Structure 1
Amino acid sequence: MSNSPVVPRLSTTPVRDRATWIAYAQMACYAWFIYSFGATLALLRDEQGTSRSVSSLHGSLMAIGGLLGGLLTARAIDRWGRGRVLRVGAIATAIGILTYTMPGGLPVTLFGIFFAGFAGAFLLISINAFLLDHQGAAGPSSLTESNAISSFAGLVGPLVVGVGAATIFGWRVGMWAVVVALLVAEIIRGRNTAVFGVAGEVARHHDGRHLPRRVYWTLAVLMCFLATEFSLTFWGADLLRERCNFGPAAAAASLASVTGGMLVGRVWGSRLAQRLNTELILKGSIGLALVGFGLAWGFTLWPIVILGMFTTGVGIGVHWPLGVARAVRSSGGLTDHAAAAASVAGSIAIAVAPFCLGALSDVIGFHEAFLLVPVFLLVALVILIVRPVPDEPGAVRVVPILE
Structure 2
Amino acid sequence: MPQIDKMESASPAAPVPTASSSATGLRRLRGSWPVARIALTGFFALDGFLFAGWVVRIPEIKAQVHASPGLLGLALLCVSAGAVAAMGPVGRLCLRIGNHAVTVAASVLLCLSVALPPLTHSVLALGGVLLVFGAGYGAMNVGINSAAVDFVRAAGRPVMPSFHAAYSLGGLLGATVGGLLAPVLTPTQHLGLLAVGGLAVTVWAGRALLRHAVAHPDASHADGSAGPSAGAGVALLVVLLGVVALCDAYGEGSMADWGALHLRQDLHASAAVAAAGFAVYSLTMTVGRLSGTRLVERFGPTRLLVAGAAIAAVGMVAAAVSPSLPLALAGFLLVGLGLANIFPLAIDRAGALRGPRGVATASTLGFGGMVAGPPVIGFLAEAFGLPLALLSVALLIALAGVSALVVRAKS
Q: Specify the TM-score bucket, using the shorter chain as the normaliser.
A: 0.7 to 0.9
Q: Deviations over 1:189-228 (max 9, x none)?
A: 4668743548887524777322522222222112111111
Task: Report the Cα offset of residue 186 of structure 1.
Answer: 2.1
In structure 1, which of residues 256, 260, 269 is the aligned counterpart of residue 279 of structure 2? 256
Partner residue of 1:396? Answer: none
Say if 2:253 and 2:374, in contact at 8 Å, map to a contact too: yes
The worse-fitting range, judged by mean Cα deviation, of 195-204 and 76-85 is 195-204
Counterpart check, 1:274 vs 2:297: yes
Tell me how far apart the structure 2 counterparts of residues 291 and 173 of structure 1 sit (CA, whole Å).
44
Tell me how far apart the structure 2 counterparts of residues 234 and 177 of structure 1 sit (CA, whole Å).
27
Partner residue of 1:394? Answer: none
Counterpart check, 1:94 vs 2:111: yes
Q: Taking every aligned residue pair, what percent have the same amino acid on both sides?
A: 22
Tell me how far apart the structure 1 counterparts of residues 337 and 188 of structure 2 sit (CA, whole Å).
28
Q: Structure 1 counterpart of 2:389, which letter?
A: A
Counterpart check, 1:327 vs 2:345: no
Say if 2:347 and 2:363, in contact at 8 Å, map to a contact too: no
Task: Report the Cα offset of residue 377 of structure 1.
Answer: 0.9
Q: How does 1:333-348 map to 2 (within 5 A)?
A: 334-348=354-368
Q: Deviations over 1:349-391 (max 9, x none)?
A: 2232223223444555544433331121122223233442588
Task: Report the Cα offset of residue 261 of structure 1.
Answer: 1.4
In structure 2, which of residues 199, 206, 210 is the aligned counterpart of residue 183 of structure 1? 199
Say if 1:96 and 1:114, in contact at 8 Å, map to a contact too: no
Tell me how far apart the structure 2 counterparts of residues 7 and 78 of structure 1 sit (CA, whole Å).
16
Relative to 1, partners in 2 of residues 1:264 and 1:208: Cα closer, same or farther, differing over 3 Å? same
Relative to 1, partners in 2 of residues 1:117 and 1:64: Cα closer, same or farther, differing over 3 Å? same
Say if 1:225 and 1:380, in contact at 8 Å, map to a contact too: yes
Tell me how far apart the structure 1 counterparts of residues 406 and 152 of structure 2 sit (CA, whole Å).
31
Q: How does 1:278-289 map to 2 (within 5 A)?
A: 278-289=301-312
Relative to 1, partners in 2 of residues 1:257 and 1:4: Cα closer, same or farther, differing over 3 Å? farther
Counterpart check, 1:384 vs 2:391: no
TM-score (norm 2): 0.77
Tell me how far apart the structure 1 counterparts of residues 269 and 119 of structure 2 sit (CA, whole Å).
29
Partner residue of 1:195? Answer: 211
CA RMSD in angstroms comes to 3.9
Q: Deviations over 1:52-80 (max 9, x none)?
A: x6655455432222211111112323444
Partner residue of 2:79? Answer: 62
Counterpart check, 1:115 vs 2:115: no
Task: Report the Cα offset of residue 274 of structure 1.
Answer: 2.1
Tell me how far apart the structure 1 counterparts of residues 46 and 174 of structure 2 sit (CA, whole Å).
10
In structure 2, which of residues 359, 372, 377 is the aligned counterpart of residue 357 of structure 1? 377
Counterpart check, 1:32 vs 2:49: yes
Task: Report the Cα offset of residue 6 of structure 1.
Answer: 4.9
The worse-fitting range, judged by mean Cα deviation, of 89-98 and 28-37 is 28-37
Equivalenced residue count is 383
Partner residue of 1:400? Answer: none
Counterpart check, 1:124 vs 2:141: yes
Relative to 1, partners in 2 of residues 1:378 and 1:254: Cα closer, same or farther, differing over 3 Å? closer
3-state SS of paired residue (2:158): helix
Partner residue of 1:19? Answer: 36
Partner residue of 1:217? Answer: 240
Counterpart check, 1:144 vs 2:161: yes
Unaligned runs of 5+ in 2: 1-19
TM-score (norm 1): 0.78
Unaligned runs of 5+ in 1: 392-403
Q: Deviations over 1:304-340 (max 9, x none)?
A: 54443233111100111111122234x2xx3121112
Q: Deviations over 1:103-150 (max 9, x none)?
A: 535444443433222112222212222232245353663422212222
Say if 2:314 and 2:394, in contact at 8 Å, map to a contact too: no
Relative to 1, partners in 2 of residues 1:15 and 1:190: Cα closer, same or farther, differing over 3 Å? closer
Tell me how far apart the structure 2 counterparts of residues 383 and 7 of structure 1 sit (CA, whole Å).
31
Q: How does 1:2-17 map to 2 (within 5 A)?
A: 6-8=25-27, 16-17=33-34
Partner residue of 2:334? Answer: 311
Task: Report the Cα offset of residue 10 of structure 1.
Answer: 12
Say if 2:43 and 2:205, in contact at 8 Å, map to a contact too: no
Tell me how far apart the structure 1 counterparts of residues 381 and 92 of structure 2 sit (CA, whole Å).
39
Partner residue of 2:8? Answer: none
Tell me how far apart the structure 2 counterparts of residues 38 and 376 of structure 1 sit (CA, whole Å).
26
Say if 2:377 and 2:389, in contact at 8 Å, map to a contact too: yes
Partner residue of 1:208? Answer: 226
Task: Report the Cα offset of residue 151 of structure 1.
Answer: 2.3
The worse-fitting range, judged by mean Cα deviation, of 79-88 and 286-295 is 79-88
Task: Report the Cα offset of residue 8 of structure 1.
Answer: 4.3
Tell me how far apart the structure 2 counterparts of residues 142 and 169 of structure 1 sit (CA, whole Å).
37
Partner residue of 2:313? Answer: 290
Q: Structure 2 counterpart of 1:97, which letter?
A: V
Partner residue of 1:401? Answer: none
Say if 2:25 and 2:213, in contact at 8 Å, map to a contact too: no
3-state SS of paired residue (1:388): helix
Tell me how far apart the structure 2 counterparts of residues 111 and 257 of structure 1 sit (CA, whole Å).
35
Partner residue of 2:12? Answer: none
Tell me how far apart the structure 2 counterparts of residues 126 and 8 of structure 1 sit (CA, whole Å).
21
Tell me how far apart the structure 2 counterparts of residues 361 and 101 of structure 1 sit (CA, whole Å).
33
